[in-house]
């Protein structure tokens, strides 16, 4: 018998502009010992399903129709108090961000014991024993001592283990895991997924795994439900859905997933997803003002060279030098990027890859070492006109499209700012024309100029960022995780756009990412960073085919397997 | 932890040094002290004698060091007006003010936190809405109007409570308290309520907005998903997380209570240090003013030191560095 059987579930959010159906006619089942992957892009309604099961929908959302039959009982018929008894005891939930899902002021022991006693009616001492055992189960060593630790004393992966222990503390039969590994590094992701899978098998738990990441699905899901705009468009065995998708949406979604196992020239164009590229006119950027610097014969072969870069941050201040604790964020980093090349920096969070980018961009000042840009040593001074001119030729695209655009400026002013600042044009009319051409070219359309950033989606905002970066006619672009905040189909569009622009303008790119498949698709050469050092620097294909350093090998090995995906 | 407190102590000493300089400057800027002490008929010789006796012709720095040295020993000289020892005058009035402040702080805390939590959790109930509307009165009406209004209602119209003054005082030798008699309590209710009203509102609104903030966090949602009871979620998890900012504001506000007590004490003729200060200002009694300034600053500094220590004990992230 199925553990959970959802039939024709409707979730409704009344808004001022009418009711929104976050889920419509959703039916799915979960059996004991089975991992059901619920996959879809942001806004598809997949988290809503989890919240609806738990009766934790954010008001004013409510379940409009349908049945949620759990172990033979329709959860919708239970009153608030009975429902509270289902939560934790029967159904557990794991959240996305382990940084925020634990109460920062209580020790993990207090939180565990509280939950255990709440669900299982135990004495304090018994609950403590169980807490220790639970922590051991999820792979936390010296569990007894760690009970007294506060959440901030754990790393992200360890914290997620604590969250899992908490979710399991009431001995539930079903676990709803909402993006459980999205906030974690790839090596930690693998461990957590393995843990969830093991617990699922050992305890015969049903697991609903909500995620946007096809890689995670491929890794552990037994069956998959693909959601699009509140509806389930396809359900089936993982291998079948990923390998031979039926629905158009599933096909385009899977086509947009960056492949780790091979390099493609471009991402397959995604037609099914709306809100993407506006059918705007493309300008011929090579002959345009924007492309004027394209064929600059004076450009040196080595466009950007970094030598023996070092930077430390102070972790703990002290009056005495010996007592100060320093973090070596960048440790003797050297590399050189050739003209027209895309150079990747890959590593896990805290490896120093963004710090390197920020030093190159002049946002941080290195302790020692040199940055040589277009044949000139960059010292980090804006007063020298020659240096200012060189630094204009290097622009940056940031990770978070929501905080990297000034919300109080129109898109016109945002994109025109570099042109105006560097006084690159002779008239305001010319500036405006250039901005409009640029917006057309990045696929937003010239009419976007009069609007404000909040009117755009994440992917569109990233296009604005790209337009802004291009406005000062740069020769070098630094892309710091440009797509990690975006859905996979949008990511494919943005990466295609970057590839096109690079080819058209012959740009040099420093591309930073933690996402190995993206690196494989984008970069010619790549440097693997760990704890501030470059441990391996090689051709991208060589890194993926035969990594030499042990750390690179483990990174490559921990990538989610994508063998199930449809062969191209 | 130890170095943290030491650092705070050092900062406190700096603050006190600055305030003492300010208080000292009163002596030189608020009129001529000798003029304030003697009448019109004093001869130039008499005046000069007094100047010599007080050391007023010494260099400023020497005078300041002398002032500081005396102040540290609790000696602020004699009141120009009553010729009493200033420290004695303040110490005599201190219990009245501190008891008033203590009672209002308790009122503000209890009502503010309870109502704040309630309005934060049941944000849409009619009771929350009425509490919030009424609380607007607390912020917008000046203290003296509230005081006079309360006097009119409870003392003049209902004749339930005395309109002014401190009554039923028991002398414990070192402390004159009004907590031991019914009359004492009856007398303290109105001024304490008046003084606390503004603080109650502040705390209420702060706790409410912090609660709203905390209730949206993931750990509250996670706690709910684990089936914890509402009581456990609201009090063990949510309320505690609102405390850090609340404690900060309360700390600042207890200082504010002491300072605001000037107005309340005037309205209710409460014989505390605030009333003493107002009377001193009227007569340009500089030693009293200077001593009062130093005293209020000292209170501020001590309260904030306590707040900092509380902070550390509430939030483990401050206590234990992240590993």
Q: Has residue B322 got a pLDDT over 70?
A: no
Pick the residue of A101, A172, A314, A320 with the most B CBs within 10 A to test the interface with B by mutation.
A101
- Mean pLDDT for chain A? 87
CATH of the domain at A307: 3.40.50.300
Q: Which residue of B has its CA nearest to A116?
A: B226
Summarize the confidence of residues B64-84 as an average pLDDT. 84
- Contact yes or no for B64/B28 (Cβ under 8 A): no
The rounded distance, in Å, linking the Cα atoms of A346 and A354 is 10
C-alpha distances in Å from residue A517, one per residue of A523, A552, A560, B157: 10, 14, 10, 81
Query: Which residue range is the domain that position A508 belongs to?
Result: 289-560
- Helices and strands (H, E) in chain A, number of each type: 19, 20
Tell me the shortest Cα–Cα distance from A199 to chain B, in angstroms: 18
Q: What is the pLDDT of residue A295?
A: 60
Using a CB-CB cut-off of 8 Å, the residues of chain A touching B317 are 104, 150, 152
Using a CB-CB cut-off of 8 Å, the residues of chain A touching B320 are 150, 152-153
Tell me the shortest Cα–Cα distance from A87 to chain B, in angstroms: 5
Asked if residue A521 is part of any domain, the answer here is yes
* Contact status of B152 with chain A (Cβ, < 8 Å): no
The rounded distance, in Å, linking the Cα atoms of A564 and A544 is 18
Closest CA to A282 of A522, A507, A504: A504
CA dihedral sign of residues A182, A152, A149, A54: negative
ipTM: 0.78
Closest CA to A504 of A540, A477, A486, A537: A477
The rounded distance, in Å, linking the Cα atoms of B73 and B86 is 13
Using a CB-CB cut-off of 8 Å, the residues of chain A touching B236 are 106, 114
Eight-state DSSP code of residue A265:
S
Q: Has residue B287 got a pLDDT over 80?
A: yes
Is the N-terminal amide bond of B136 cis, ω within 30° of 0?
no
Q: What is the pLDDT of residue A323?
A: 67
Q: Has residue B323 got a pLDDT over 50?
A: no
Give me the residue from A84, A105, A167 closest to B314, CB to CB.
A105
- Contact yes or no for A127/A116 (Cβ under 8 A): yes
Eight-state DSSP code of residue A76:
G
Using a CB-CB cut-off of 8 Å, the residues of chain B touching A104 are 219, 241, 315-317
User: What CATH number is given for B86-162+189-282 in this structure?
Assistant: 1.10.3720.10
Inspect the interface and report whether the beta carbons of B317 and A87 lie closer than 8 Å.
no
Asked if residue A429 is part of any domain, the answer here is yes
Asked if residue A327 is part of any domain, the answer here is yes
Inspect the interface and report whether the beta carbons of B226 and A86 lie closer than 8 Å.
no
Q: What is the pLDDT of residue A277?
A: 47
- Contact yes or no for A91/A83 (Cβ under 8 A): no
- Contact yes or no for A428/A505 (Cβ under 8 A): no
C-alpha distances in Å from residue B127, one per residue of B113, B132, B197: 15, 9, 19
Inspect the interface and report whether the beta carbons of A100 and B240 lie closer than 8 Å.
no
Residues of chain A scoring pLDDT < 70: 269-281, 294-298, 316-323, 564, 566-568
Tell me the shortest Cα–Cα distance from B227 to chain A, in angstroms: 5
The rounded distance, in Å, linking the Cα atoms of A164 and B308 is 35
Give me the residue from B219, B225, B316 closest to A87, CB to CB.
B225
Tally of CA atoms within 13 A in the half-sphere of A426 that contains its CB: 1
- Contact yes or no for A91/A55 (Cβ under 8 A): no
Q: Could you tell me where in chain B the CATH 1.10.3720.10 domains are found?
A: 86-162+189-282
Tell me the shortest Cα–Cα distance from A147 to chain B, in angstroms: 14
Which has more confidence, B1 or A254? A254
The rounded distance, in Å, linking the Cα atoms of A317 and A324 is 5
Which has more confidence, A80 or B259? A80
Give me the residue from B219, B321, B323 closest to A103, CB to CB.
B219
Helix (H) or strand (E) holding A335: strand A325-338
The number of domains in chain A is 1
Tell me the shortest Cα–Cα distance from B1 to chain A, in angstroms: 14
Q: What is the pLDDT of residue A271?
A: 58
Q: Which of residues 50-79 of B touch A (CB under 8 A)?
A: none
Closest CA to B316 of A123, A531, A106, A5: A106
Q: What is the pLDDT of residue A310?
A: 92
Asked if residue A550 is part of any domain, the answer here is yes
* Confidence bin at B29 (pLDDT 50/70/90): confident
Give me the residue from B236, B320, B321 closest to A316, CB to CB.
B321
The structure's pTM equals 0.79
Helix (H) or strand (E) holding A22: strand A18-30
Q: Which residue of A has its CA nearest to B218?
A: A101
Asked if residue A537 is part of any domain, the answer here is yes
- Contact yes or no for B280/B292 (Cβ under 8 A): yes
Q: Which residue of A has its CA nearest to B217?
A: A100
Asked if residue A320 is part of any domain, the answer here is yes
For A128-192, list the strands marked E by DSSP: 174-178
In chain B, % of residues over pLDDT 70: 96
Asked if residue A468 is part of any domain, the answer here is yes
Summarize the confidence of residues B226-254 as an average pLDDT. 85
* Contact status of B323 with chain A (Cβ, < 8 Å): yes
Asked if residue A160 is part of any domain, the answer here is no
C-alpha distances in Å from residue A516, one per residue of A61, A527, A554: 38, 11, 12
């Amino acid at each position: 018998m199925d553990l959970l059987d959802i039939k024709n579930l409707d979730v409704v959010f009344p808004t001022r502009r009418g009711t929104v159906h976050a889920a419509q006619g959703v039916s799915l089942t979960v059996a004991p010992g089975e991992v059901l992957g619920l996959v879809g892009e942001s806004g598809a309604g997949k988290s809503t399903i989890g919240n609806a099961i738990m009766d934790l929908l954010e008001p004013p959302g409510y379940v409009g129709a349908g049945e949620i039959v759990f172990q033979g009982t329709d959860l919708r018929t239970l009153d608030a108090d009975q429902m509270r008894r289902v939560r934790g005891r029967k159904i557990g939930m794991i959240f996305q961000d382990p940084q925020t899902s634990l109460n920062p002021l209580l020790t993990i022991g207090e939180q565990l014991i509280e939950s255990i006693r709440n669900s299982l009616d135990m004495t304090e001492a018994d609950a403590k024993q169980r807490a220790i055992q639970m922590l051991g189960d999820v792979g936390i060593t010296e569990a007894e001592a760690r009970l007294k630790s506060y959440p901030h004393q754990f790393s992200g992966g360890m914290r997620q283990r604590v969250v899992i222990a908490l979710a399991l503390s009431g001995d539930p039969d079903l676990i709803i895991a909402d993006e459980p590994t999205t906030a974690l590094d790839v090596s930690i992701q693998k461990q957590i997924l393995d843990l969830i899978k093991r617990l699922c098998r050992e305890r015969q738990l049903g697991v609903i795994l909500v995620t946007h990441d096809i890689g995670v699905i491929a890794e552990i899901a037994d069956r998959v439900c693909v959601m699009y705009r509140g509806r389930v468009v396809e359900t089936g065995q993982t291998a079948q859905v990923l390998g031979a998708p039926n629905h158009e949406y599933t096909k385009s979604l899977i086509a947009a997933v960056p492949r780790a196992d091979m390099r493609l020239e471009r991402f397959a164009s995604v037609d099914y997803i709306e809100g993407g590229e506006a059918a705007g006119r493309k300008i011929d950027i090579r002959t345009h003002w924007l492309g004027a610097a394209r064929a600059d014969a004076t450009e040196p072969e080595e466009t950007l060279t970094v030598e023996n870069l070092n930077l430390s941050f102070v972790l703990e201040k002290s009056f005495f030098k010996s007592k100060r604790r320093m973090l070596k964020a960048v440790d003797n980093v050297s590399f050189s990027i050739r003209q027209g090349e895309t150079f990747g920096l890959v590593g896990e969070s805290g490896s120093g890859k963004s710090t390197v980018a920020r030093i190159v961009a002049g946002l941080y000042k290195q302790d020692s070492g040199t940055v040589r840009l277009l044949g000139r040593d960059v010292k980090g001074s804006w007063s020298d006109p020659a240096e200012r001119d060189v630094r204009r030729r290097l622009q940056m695209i940031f990770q978070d499209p929501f905080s990297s655009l000034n919300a109080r400026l129109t898109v016109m002013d945002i994109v025109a700012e570099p042109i105006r600042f560097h006084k690159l044009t002779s008239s305001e009319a010319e500036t405006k024309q250039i901005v409009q051409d640029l917006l057309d070219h990045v696929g937003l359309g010239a009419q976007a100029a009069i609007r404000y950033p909040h009117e755009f989606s994440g992917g569109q905002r990233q296009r604005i960022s790209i337009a802004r970066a291009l406005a000062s006619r740069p020769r070098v672009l630094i892309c710091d995780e440009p797509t990690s905040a975006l859905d996979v189909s949008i990511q494919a569009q943005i990466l295609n756009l970057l590839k096109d622009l690079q080819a058209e303008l012959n740009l040099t790119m420093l591309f930073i990412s933690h996402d190995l498949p993206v690196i494989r698709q984008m970069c010619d050469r790549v440097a693997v960073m760990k704890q501030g050092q470059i441990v391996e620097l090689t051709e991208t294909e060589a890194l993926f085919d035969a990594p030499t350093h042990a750390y690179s090998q483990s990174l490559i090995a921990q990538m989610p397997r994508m063998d199930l995906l449809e062969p191209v | 932890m130890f170095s943290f407190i030491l650092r705070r102590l050092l900062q406190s000493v700096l603050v006190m040094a600055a305030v003492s300089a300010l208080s000292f400057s009163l002596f030189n800027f608020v009129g001529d002290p000798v003029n304030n002490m003697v009448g019109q008929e004093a001869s130039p010789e008499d005046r000069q004698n007094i100047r010599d006796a007080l050391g007023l012709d010494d260099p400023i720095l020497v005078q300041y060091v002398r002032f500081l040295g005396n102040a540290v020993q609790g000696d602020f000289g004699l009141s120009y007006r009553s010729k009493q020892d200033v420290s004695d005058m303040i110490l005599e009035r201190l219990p009245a003010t501190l008891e008033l402040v203590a009672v209002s702080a308790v009122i503000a805390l209890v009502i503010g936190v309870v109502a704040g939590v309630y309005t934060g959790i049941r944000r849409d109930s009619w009771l929350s809405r009425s509490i919030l509307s009424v609380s607007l009165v607390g912020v917008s009406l000046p203290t003296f109007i509230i005081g006079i209004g309360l006097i009119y209602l409870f003392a003049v119209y209902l004749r339930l409570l005395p309109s002014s003054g401190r009554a039923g005082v028991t002398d414990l030798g070192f402390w004159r308290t009004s907590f031991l008699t019914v009359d004492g309590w009856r007398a303290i209710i109105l001024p304490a309520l008046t003084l606390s009203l503004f603080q109650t509102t502040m705390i209420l609104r702060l706790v409410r907005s912090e609660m709203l903030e905390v209730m949206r966090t993931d750990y509250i949602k996670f706690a709910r998903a684990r089936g914890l009871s509402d009581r456990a979620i609201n009090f063990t998890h949510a309320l505690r997380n609102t405390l850090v900012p609340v404690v900060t504001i309360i700390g600042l506000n207890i200082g504010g209570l002491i300072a605001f007590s000037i107005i309340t004490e005037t309205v209710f003729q409460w014989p505390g240090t605030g009333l003493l200060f107002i009377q001193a200002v009227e007569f340009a009694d500089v030693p009293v003013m200077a001593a009062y300034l130093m005293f209020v600053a000292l209170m501020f500094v001590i309260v904030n030191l306590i707040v900092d220590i509380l902070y550390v004990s509430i939030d483990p992230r401050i206590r234990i560095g992240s590993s």
